[in-house]
């Protein structure tokens, strides 16, 4: 697949992955991923987000 052509940080011989592979699902819910990342980012950096609809 496309991921086979990626050389992470110029380190040859190391593979990359995808959320689909790591989670063992065919389709990843991008909205859920965004929500979780923002939640953990806010906790880590002790901040709040005022999200606006796109």
One digit per residue, the tens of pLDDT, for the chain of length 54 reads: 777 788 888 888 888 888 999 999 999 999 999 999 999 999 999 999 888 887
Q: Is 9 a catalytic residue?
A: yes
Q: Kindly name the residue from 6, 9, 47, 54 that is annotated as catalytic.
A: 9
- pTM comes to 0.61
With a CB cutoff of 8 Å and minimum separation 6, the contacts of 20 are: 26, 27, 28
> Count of H helices and E strands in the chain?
2, 0
Residue spans of the domains in the chain: they are 2-44
């Amino acid at each position: 697949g496309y991921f086979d052509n990626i050389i992470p940080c110029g380190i040859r011989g190391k593979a990359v992955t995808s959320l689909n592979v790591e989670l063992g699902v065919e389709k990843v819910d991008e909205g859920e991923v965004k929500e979780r990342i923002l939640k953990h980012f806010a906790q880590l950096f002790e901040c709040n987000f005022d999200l606006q609809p796109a």
